[in-house]
Amino acid sequence: MNRQFSGKAVLITGGATGIGRATALAFATQGASVLIGDVDARAAETAHMVEAQGGKAAFIHADVTDPAAMNALVDACIERFGGMHMAFNNAGVLPPQRPLHEVPVAELNLAIDVDLKGVFFAMQAEIRHFLKSGGGAIVNTASVGGLIADPDMAPYVACKHAVVGLTKAAAVEYAQVGIRVNAIAPGFVVTPMTQHWADSADFRQMFFAQNVSGRAAQPEEIAGTVLHLCSDAASFINGATFTIDGGQTAH
């Protein structure tokens, strides 16, 4: 079996369920040690799943809205696994859908704190380490909502557009010191966060009418792109946002 990440460690935020969990398991299958930072205790289950398949993993309760917690998370990865070579900044929230003029301040602030500042603070901590270690790869989770817009999702759309811009900014700043920064833009993926949409007949009818694939994605279908972007095969990919939407934005 090809274990392209043997001897390497990856830090993942938001690894409790969905895309984060699937990506943690995929990294472990390829030989990586996995440190998961999350406020969701289900991330401990993800770590146990990695260990059950023979991999190395650990879970640390960490809030991405706290810069000090992100610094500590990077330090913990280095201490536990001897280094940190890759990072997947996946933690995020999906605010309730409502028209822009009705969005409460608290919901806007939560989206900004987690979906934007959380990525920013994680990147700061990761980049500081990579500047000392000689480089590494970072992948941020944006969304098709970072490329296009849907009604009643203004805070989410704004923050995900910002993640795409932040990814480009970091790639430009650090390309010549061995740090690559890319993003993924998944379409509709069935996860606990989106299950309410998957359970809605009206939403499925609307979504499948505009998606040429006629279905939603599974988290495992997103993980492969993250691994590729962290691999040596992607050594000349930097500042890019990879759309993984089954053709949703292609027409």
Residues designated as active site? 156
Residue 71 token pair: 């610094």
What number of helices (H) and strands (E) belong to the chain? 9, 7
CA angle 217, 212, 190 (to 5 degrees): 15
Which three-class secondary structure state does DSSP give residue 161? helix
31 dihedral zone (left: phi>0; alpha: psi -120 to 50; beta): left
Distances (CA, A) of 222 to 129, 143, 165: 26, 11, 21
Q: CA 123 to CA 108: how far, in whole Å?
A: 22
Q: CA 181 to CA 8: how far, in whole Å?
A: 17
Residue 66 token pair: 């706290």
